[in-house]
């Protein structure tokens, strides 16, 4: 399925080995990793097309399904289940309905999803006229050609779920090796740096940023130190925290973002990353906050500009001044079922 601006296979948990080691071997085989083209599997040779969603009925009170996200490395034999993926999340509710994990209502169906990776809860609203998932529609999202039916995602408790704090270092802004940085845990652990701090404008293309080996090495060094300060340990082999470069967006409700995955610049933007950027943008004391204007209590639409367009996030603020906090965030995504079938894998992947 395509979910948002990402793509990958969706599995029921009971289709995979229960042991995490065997499961990861199966996922590497399914995607064709490690290989730069993933020629022997379903991967597309890019981090955005080397993702997996694992879905199961939930036993947690009030939740319908559990969603475990797996980022499968393209060129290494690594499977990372630390982060969430809000784009692939877009396809979880349609998949769960079609797999009879959740009964479909006539008109639309609300599915409460528990993300196992980040221990957070998301409500997804799917169009189900006549009790069937509708994928076609008129909603467009930047980074995806054509249009599809809207899927509303409301993040209910995504703040501080990985590290225990929204600002795990205890500060809204830290100085990491001479560079001001905001280390934030909001839907995704992020390290956010002003592009100007690294001598950049902030509107560079992904190809330009990927070609700047010196800048990427500097960003990776900052990311590893930020991960240590955030209590995540040695993050050399993890994709979190994700590094983000931000710059002014031209008006109070807009910020420009360049999101890394973490070693290459995203061609558009991660949903969870956009929520983290938007949260920092409206929170006093952060690096992004200096690029916009203060927002009072209530719901505000924040526009996160990325290389393929923009993501609009509705953030709900409570309190004022230093005590102000984000208590909810929602946005519209789309998804499409691409195929359904049988995947053939070598028997050795299931052994041992």
> For residue 10, is it within any domain?
yes
pLDDT at 322: 79
- Based on the domain organization, do 193 and 222 belong to the same domain? yes
Closest C-alpha among 347, 344, 348, 335 to residue 94? 335
DSSP 162-173: TTSSSSTTSSSS
pLDDT at 351: 85
Q: Determine the average pLDDT of the residues in 101-119.
A: 97
Q: Determine the average pLDDT of the residues in 169-197.
A: 97
Q: Determine the average pLDDT of the residues in 1-5.
A: 97
- Based on the domain organization, do 186 and 297 belong to the same domain? yes
Residues paired with residue 245 on neighbouring β-strands, in sequence order: 193, 258
State the total domains in the chain. 2
Q: State percent of the chain over pLDDT 90.
A: 95
Rg (CA), the chain: 19
Count how many residues are written for the chain.
352
Q: State percent of the chain over pLDDT 70.
A: 100
- Based on the domain organization, do 304 and 182 belong to the same domain? yes
Structure tokens that stand for 202 in this block: 């902030």
Q: Determine the average pLDDT of the residues in 218-230.
A: 98
Q: Determine the average pLDDT of the residues in 157-166.
A: 94
Q: Determine the average pLDDT of the residues in 79-108.
A: 97
Q: What is the CATH number of the domain that holds 112?
A: 3.10.310.10
Position 349 pLDDT exceeds 80 = yes
- Based on the domain organization, do 12 and 122 belong to the same domain? yes
- Based on the domain organization, do 178 and 304 belong to the same domain? yes
- Based on the domain organization, do 340 and 311 belong to the same domain? no
The mean predicted confidence, pLDDT, of the chain is 96
- Based on the domain organization, do 7 and 145 belong to the same domain? yes
Query: In the structure, what pLDDT confidence band is assigned to residue 228 with cuts at 50, 70 and 90?
Result: very high
pLDDT at 173: 98
Query: In the structure, what pLDDT confidence band is assigned to residue 169 with cuts at 50, 70 and 90?
Result: very high
pLDDT at 331: 97
Position 84 pLDDT exceeds 80 = yes
Q: Rounded to the nearest 5°, which phi and psi values hold at 14?
A: -80, 0
Question: What b/e sequence results for 46-72 when a residue is b if at least 16 CB atoms lie within 10 Å of its CB, and e otherwise?
Answer: bbbbbbbbbbbbbeeeebbbbbbbbbb
- Based on the domain organization, do 213 and 146 belong to the same domain? no
Q: Rounded to the nearest 5°, which phi and psi values hold at 159?
A: -105, 115
Structure tokens that stand for 255 in this block: 């910020």
> For residue 330, is it within any domain?
no
Q: Determine the average pLDDT of the residues in 203-232.
A: 98
- Based on the domain organization, do 300 and 343 belong to the same domain? no
Q: Determine the average pLDDT of the residues in 76-97.
A: 96
- Based on the domain organization, do 223 and 86 belong to the same domain? no
Position 352 pLDDT exceeds 80 = no
> For residue 300, is it within any domain?
yes
Query: In the structure, what pLDDT confidence band is assigned to residue 89 with cuts at 50, 70 and 90?
Result: very high
pTM for this predicted structure: 0.90
Q: Under a CB-based contact definition with an 8 Å cutoff, are residues 279 and 232 in contact?
A: no
pLDDT at 267: 94
The reply to whether omega before 178 is within 30° of 0 (cis) is no
Q: H helices then E strands: how many in the chain?
A: 6, 18
> For residue 161, is it within any domain?
no
Q: Determine the average pLDDT of the residues in 123-148.
A: 97
- Based on the domain organization, do 57 and 125 belong to the same domain? yes
pLDDT at 323: 83
pLDDT at 64: 98
pLDDT at 177: 97
Position 332 pLDDT exceeds 90 = yes
> How many Cβ atoms are within 10 Å of 167's Cβ, its own excluded?
21
Where in the sequence is the domain holding 129, given as residue range(s)?
2-150+335-350
In degrees, to the nearest 5, what angle opens at C-alpha 302 toward C-alphas 296 and 303? 155
> How many Cβ atoms are within 10 Å of 214's Cβ, its own excluded?
9
| C-alpha–C-alpha distance, residues 307 and 288, integer Å | 18
Position 293 pLDDT exceeds 90 = no
Position 71 pLDDT exceeds 80 = yes
């Amino acid at each position: 399925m395509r979910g948002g601006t990402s793509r990958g296979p969706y599995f029921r948990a009971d289709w995979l080995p229960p042991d995490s080691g065997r499961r990861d071997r199966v996922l590497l085989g399914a995607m064709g990793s490690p290989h730069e083209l993933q020629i022997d599997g379903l991967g597309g040779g890019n981090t955005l097309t080397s993702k997996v969603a694992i879905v199961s009925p939930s036993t947690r009170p009030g939740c319908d399904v559990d969603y475990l996200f797996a980022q499968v490395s393209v060129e290494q034999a690594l499977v990372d289940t630390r982060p969430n993926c809000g784009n692939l999340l877009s396809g979880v509710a349609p998949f769960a309905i079609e797999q009879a994990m959740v009964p479909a209502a006539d008109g639309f169906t609300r599915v409460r999803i528990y993300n196992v990776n980040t221990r957070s809860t998301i409500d997804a609203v799917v169009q189900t006229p006549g009790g069937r998932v509708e994928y076609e529609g008129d909603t467009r999202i930047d980074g995806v050609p054509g249009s599809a039916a809207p899927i509303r995602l409301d993040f209910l408790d995504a703040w501080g779920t990985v590290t225990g704090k929204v600002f795990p270092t205890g500060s809204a802004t830290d100085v990491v090796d001479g560079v001001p940085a905001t280390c934030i845990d909001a839907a995704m652990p992020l390290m956010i740096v002003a592009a100007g701090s690294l001598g950049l404008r902030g509107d560079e293309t992904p190809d330009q940023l990927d070609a700047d080996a010196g800048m990427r090495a500097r960003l990776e060094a900052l990311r590893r130190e930020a991960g240590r300060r955030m209590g995540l340990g040695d993050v050399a082999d993890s994709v979190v925290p994700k590094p983000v470069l931000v710059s002014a967006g031209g008006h109070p409700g807009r910020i420009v973002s360049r999101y890394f995955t973490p070693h290459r610049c995203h061609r558009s933007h991660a949903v969870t990353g956009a929520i983290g950027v938007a949260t920092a943008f409206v929170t006093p004391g952060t690096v992004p906050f200096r690029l916009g204007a203060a927002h009072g209590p209530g719901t505000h639409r924040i526009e996160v500009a990325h290389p393929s367009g923009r993501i609009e996030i509705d953030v709900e603020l409570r309190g004022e001044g230093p005590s102000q906090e984000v208590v909810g965030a929602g946005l519209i995504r789309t998804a499409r079922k691409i195929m359904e079938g049988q995947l053939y894998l070598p028997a050795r992947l299931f052994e041992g």
